[in-house]
Structure formats: C-alpha cells, structure tokens
Structure 1
Amino acid sequence: MLSSYKTIKGYGEDMLTIKKSRFISYAQPVETEEAAISFIESIQKKHWDATHNCYAYQIGPHDEIQRSNDDGEPSGTAGKPILEVIKKEGLKNVAIVVTRYFGGIMLGSGGLVRAYGQAATAGLRAAGIVTRSRFQSFAVKIDYTWLGKLENELLQQGYFIVNTEYTDLVCLTVLVPANETEHFRTLVTNATHGQASLQEGEVVYATIQDGKVIS
C-alpha cells in the first residue's frame, strides 16, 4: 500500500468563458471506475443540452485505470488534455467532467487543448488538492485514572485521537502513522504501566491539516 498519495479534498466546480464559449468544470474524488462513470452520467444528465460533456479519470494506487473521452470534439483536444492535467498534478482517484456550451467562435485544435486544460485545472483548484497519508487505527481501552496522562503523551508524540467513548472504561480511537505502530505500542504500555488494552483497527488514509485530521 502507498504511504501517501495526492487527490482532491472533495467535490468542486468552476466556470470559464473563453471566446464566448462557456466551460464548466466538475471535479469529484472517486474510489472505483463505477463511481467515476456514475459521476460522469450525472453531469451528462444535468447538462443534456450542452454542446459537449468531455471527461477523464484516473483511478488506482498505481494509476491502473485511465480513461478519457472527447465527446464529439476533435480527437485528442478535450479528454486527453483533461487527463494530462490530472497526471501532471500527480493525482489519484479523481474524475473531471468539462461541459462546453459553444459560443459561436471556433477555437481551433490548439485553442481547444488549452481551454480544456485550463477548465480542468480550475475544477481541481475549486475541489482543493490534498495529500492523504496511511495510518493504522487503534482502539485503546484504559481506566479513567490514566486518561489525562495518556492523552498528553499521545498528543506530544503527534498521534491523533479521533474519537473518545466513555463507558466503564475509556476507549480512545487513535490514528498512528503506519511506520510507527511498534513505537506507539511501547509508548502506551509504558505510560499506563501495562494497564491499557490495545486492538488494531483498520488501515485508513487521512488528510492532516493544521495538526488536525480533516478527512
């Protein structure tokens, strides 16, 4: 599994007007090709009256799935430039649709390539580019007497407490960088004199911003 990868934070859209043609760009994070196709179809349905709905997407840890479509524009002038923007940014699991309403002025092949590339870039900027890193989640159960000390230890070490449940014990859900799991286990054991219960959860990807988990 990748230790980290770049993608977009969420849905984004923007519009450019180039020589009277409107280019509306839509960007969406997608985990599967089915999700990408569903997103594209939703834009096509929304803009059923558009001159073109061109798209591209790139999916997989090693960019195994790459697709693009010109939707009636001259070959290589729309879908490919959109895909090239995704690849140039080094993004994974991203789909972009650029809808065009023709304004009556021909752009030529070079103009179309630039226009679709600019529109795709605008859509990505609206969505927000982020880096997602791999974490191992842990459930840590402790007696209430250890809570303050352990929280301080974890925060000082840069670990992320994403949930706290209070029952007869306290259960902390903690995200730990994937290469620090042994250090984490040792820290918790030492901080609680071996009184903590640790259970590994899922491996997850998350974005960290300003010292907080945002996704």
Structure 2
Amino acid sequence: MLTIKSEGEVEIEVRRSRFVCALARVSDDAQAQAFLARRRALHAFARHNCSAWIAGGQEKAHDDGEPSGTAGAPMLQVLRRRELTETVAVVTRYFGGVMLGAGGLIRAYGSAVTEAVDAVGVVELRPMLVLTVDVDHAHAGRLENDLRGLGHEVRDIRYGAEVAIDVCVPEPDRDRFVARLTDLTGGRAGARETGRTFVEVDASPHTS
C-alpha cells in the first residue's frame, strides 16, 4: 500500500493562473473533508478549490465550479496512476485572466498534483506483526542489539519482572523470527503476538 510521505504544498503557474496543490494523509472521508474545509478557509478568495482523494476505501473528486471533468477527475487520475491511498489533494486556482480551455485545465490540475507528489515523496506502508519478546534482564541488552543488528524495528521496551521488547516482523517471517530468537537466546526468550501495524518504507523513485 502506497501513500505520500508527508503533507506538502507546491505551486505552479500556467498562463498567469496560479495552481496551489496541497497534499495530506487521511484515513477516511471525514478527514479528507476536514482538510478540504481548511484549505477553503485558507484560500477563501480563490476562484476554485478543487479536490480528489482516495481514503478508507472511497474515492472522491470535486470540480468546485470548473467545467465538469476538468479538475477533480485528472487530479484523481494522478492518485490512481501513482497507486496512492490514504491521500487527499486540494488544488486552489487563482485565475490569471487567460482562459485555458478544457484540455489546458486537465493538464494544469493533473500537473499540479504530479509535481506535489514528486516533491513530498511516496512511502510503502508494509503490514507488520508486533511480536513482544519476553526476556530476563541479564540478556535483554544484548538481545536488543542483536535484533536491531538483524534489521528488525524495535518499537518499545518495557521493564518489569522481565523485559518486554516489541518487535515488528513481516507476517510471512514469523516462524523464521521465532526460530532465530531461539538460537540467539538459547531458548530463554519467547515471542507472542500483541498487535499489528504498518512500517513505512521509502518508495520514491531515485535518480542518480
């Protein structure tokens, strides 16, 4: 699952019209609507605040007064083409006095979103199991270092009668992780599933 790395804003100019694209991560329709409302309030004097989002299993696109299909649809198409989810795009247009025509509007709105996505970057949200490893205090420090050295994300460490270390593990790797844990600790540590989460991995294209 792909989404934008962070919120961001990019402005482009097309024949004296300004197109300001703002992106945000959202998890559902209500959050997308709230972000749109904030952008409308921020740019209350703009002629158009067009929007598109894919979030919570829903897709929406709004032309906000532009000719039908010339704003929201090309914006949504960019999100689809980049395979993004949990993402809202709002493009504010300040009219520059030159009519762009339907084709010009489609290109301008699509370009604004494309440039904004390129600017903020993309991450892959990889589903992970959260496994809690219980180990005695004497071996906790070394085990933590071993886990980090093997590339596992250590989410949290809690100290009580034993030390509880929360580790993110891809679901297909669970059995392999448990076997490796046994080898590392000589069977002194056990692992139990305590949750599920996502880990962000940079998925932006890199150029050399």
Scaled by the length of structure 1, what TM-score is found?
Answer: 0.87
- Structure 1 unaligned regions, length at least 5: 210-215
State the percentage of identical aligned residues: 37
After TM superposition, list the pairs within 5 Å mapping 1:52-91 onto structure 2: 52-60=48-56, 64-91=57-84
Cα distance in 2 for partners of 1:20, 1:155 equals: 53
> What does residue 119 of structure 2 align with?
126
The answer to whether structure 1 residue 139 and structure 2 residue 132 are counterparts is yes
**Post-superposition offset of 1:167:** 4.2
Residue deviations 1:62-106, cap 9 Å, x none? xx3111010000111000000000001011111100000101011
Report matched runs for 1:28-177 at 5 Å: 28-60=24-56, 64-177=57-170
The aligned counterpart of 1:212 is none
After superposition, the C-alpha distances for 1:155-208 in whole angstroms (9 at most, x for unaligned) are 344322233334443321111112111111222233223322423122111113
Instruction: State the superposition RMSD in angstroms.
Output: 1.7
Cα distance in structure 2, aligned partners of 1:164 and 1:120:
40
Aligned residue in 1 for 2:6: 10
Name which of structure 1's ranges 195-204 and 97-106 shifts more when overlaid on structure 2. 195-204
Counterparts of 1:41 and 1:111, CA distance in 2: 26
**Aligned pairs (5 A) from 1:22-33:** 22-33=18-29
Take 1:45 and 1:122, find their aligned partners in 2: how far apart are those partners? 23
Q: Deviations over 1:18-69 (max 9, x none)?
A: 1111110000111111111111111111111110000001124xxx311101
CA distance, structure 2, for counterparts of residue 202 and residue 20 of structure 1: 52
Q: How many residues align?
A: 202
Q: Which runs of 4+ in 1 moved over 4 A?
A: none
Which residue does 2:182 correspond to in 1? 189
